[in-house]
Amino acid sequence: MNDDFDSVRLTDVSRHFGRRRALARLSLAIRTGDVLGLLGPNGAGKSTLLGMVATLVAPNTGEVIYGDRSAQRWGPALRRHIGLLAHELHLYAELTARQNLTFFAELYGLNPRDVVDAALERAGLADRADDEVGGFSRGMRQRLALERALLHRPRLVLLDEPFTGLDDRSVSAVADRIRRLAADGGIVLLATHDLDLADGLVTRVALIREGRLLSDEPASTGLRGRYREVVGR
Amino acid sequence: MFFRVAFLVLRKDFAIEIKSREILYTTLLFAVSCVLVFAFALVKEGEAPPDAAPAILWIAIMFAGTLALGRTFERERYGETLRALLLAPAPRPALYVGKLLGIVLLLGVAELVLVPLVAFFFLAPFFAKPLLMTLLLAAGTIGFAAVGTLFAAMLMRVRTRDVLLPILLYPITVPVIIGGVRGTAALLASPADEAMATMWLAILAAFDVVFITLSLWTFEVLMTE
């Protein structure tokens, strides 16, 4: 059986939390090289969708297929191919930057010596490697969290507001990183409210509101206008 | 991969605790305070009420354990790190085992202080049968932590988790507390009733096997939102 995949397909996925509908019969397909921008207002279902693709949220109906198999048929091996940068940063505040990366590298079966120093360098935190993450600014934690999510070179990269708290230079660096990931065969899902940053970065756009997919189309310039036209606010 | 991940989670929790010592100190303080309150209330003129020591020991373990469970998972809630652990390419029950081992070790350290303290205040000869006493403590602690770890993980996303944890945990762990108290009381009897203590130990061991199996079986389903 193939140990990798080149596409992710969501078919009619729905998810309710009690009486609240988070996703309603949503279908999408994403392939390697895609940077799919998930755009929509607050509460549109973007984070739920990312959680579902990350195997953390189960759909009430429908299914998510990775290559030719569902998450259940893949088993734990699927998660080796998934990297998630969520709004909450998945870092231990009490541990240093190096300890955080070392722990997650080992969790993914990697040798920390092969990956941690390079990741700290990319995050621009080599000189703060042995400082506790609790003392970092939001931007520093955001850069570290991105490296944590990409430590194991995942095929499927799920990014929820990756530009939060970053200065201009870091925003450019992260945007370049995302482009490189896609060029190297990654599948990138990017949920963001920042239409200006998404413009020119995403290759496709999925516009979502109240859990429904309003539009799935190739990206074009003038994303803000298109967003207003389809989403309406 | 399963045991490696369980060990990594345990080592990570240990590293954080070594730095902060927050859970160990609060758990110990709470447990010792609990024993002292009972000692002040029940010990009159140097005479402890007969049969009180086993109950007080296990009540202190149970209360301290509840506090430790809550704080351990509160740490994973901050930064939603439990979600990151759930994304590891290993069977998810390995995370449960890692967390369970951490709680058991922490309670073990608390018991190293609690047992001599209760023995001192309530004149209880806990060390007369050290092997059976250690086995009873181990089996009871594992049983309590097995249920508690599952519930604490389950309740992480619930706003009223601090209230709900004891409400769910205590009724289900009643057999553990009864087994622990009765087994310990049998050991403290004069002469010690080893057969009775062994029977309660067997019941506790059966409880442990049942609840660890159930927890391993249900953990992945319960942790998927």
Positive or negative, the CA dihedral B202, B203, B204, B210 is positive
Chain B partners of A108 at a C-beta cutoff of 8 Å? 88-89
Q: In this complex, do B79 and A104 lie within 8 Å of one another by their Cβ atoms?
A: no
User: What is the average per-residue pLDDT within A209-224?
Assistant: 82
Q: What single string gives the DSSP state of each residue in A9-46?
A: EEEEEEEEETTEEEEEEEEEEEETT-EEEEE-STTSSH
Q: In this complex, do A82 and B1 lie within 8 Å of one another by their Cβ atoms?
A: no
To test the contact with chain B by mutation, choose from A94, A102, A108, A156 the residue with the greatest count of B C-beta atoms within 10 A, namely A94
Q: In this complex, do A91 and B86 lie within 8 Å of one another by their Cβ atoms?
A: no
Distance from CA of B144 to the nearest CA of A (A): 27
Q: What is the pLDDT of residues B92-137, one digit of tens each?
A: 999 999 999 999 999 999 999 999 999 999 888 888 889 999 999 9
To test the contact with chain B by mutation, choose from A72, A74, A90, A152 the residue with the greatest count of B C-beta atoms within 10 A, namely A90
Topology given in CATH for the domain delimited by A7-92+133-231: Rossmann fold (3.40.50)
Q: Are A51 and A57 in contact (CB under 8 A)?
A: yes
Determine the 3-state secondary structure of A209 from DSSP. Answer: strand
Q: What is the pLDDT of residues A83-132, one digit of tens each?
A: 999 888 899 999 999 999 999 999 999 999 999 999 999 999 999 999 99
More confident position, B225 or A34: A34
Distance from CA of B7 to the nearest CA of A (A): 10
Alpha carbon A157 to chain centroid, angstroms = 5
- Chain B nearest-CA residue for A57: B225
Interior angle at CA A86, CA A84 and CA A92, nearest 5: 95
Residues of B with CB under 8 A from a CB of A: 1, 5, 8, 12, 15-16, 19-20, 75, 78-81, 83-92, 224-225
Say what the pTM is: 0.88
Q: In this complex, do B224 and A99 lie within 8 Å of one another by their Cβ atoms?
A: no
Question: Is the pLDDT reported for residue B211 higher than 90?
Answer: yes
Calpha distance B139→B128 (Å, rounded): 18
Q: In this complex, do B224 and A106 lie within 8 Å of one another by their Cβ atoms?
A: no
More confident position, B45 or A176: A176
Q: Where are the domains of chain B?
A: 2-223
Q: Are B176 and B206 in contact (CB under 8 A)?
A: no
Predicted local confidence at residue A233, as pLDDT: 56
Pick the closest to residue B145 from B35, B70, B55, B220 (CA basis).
Answer: B70
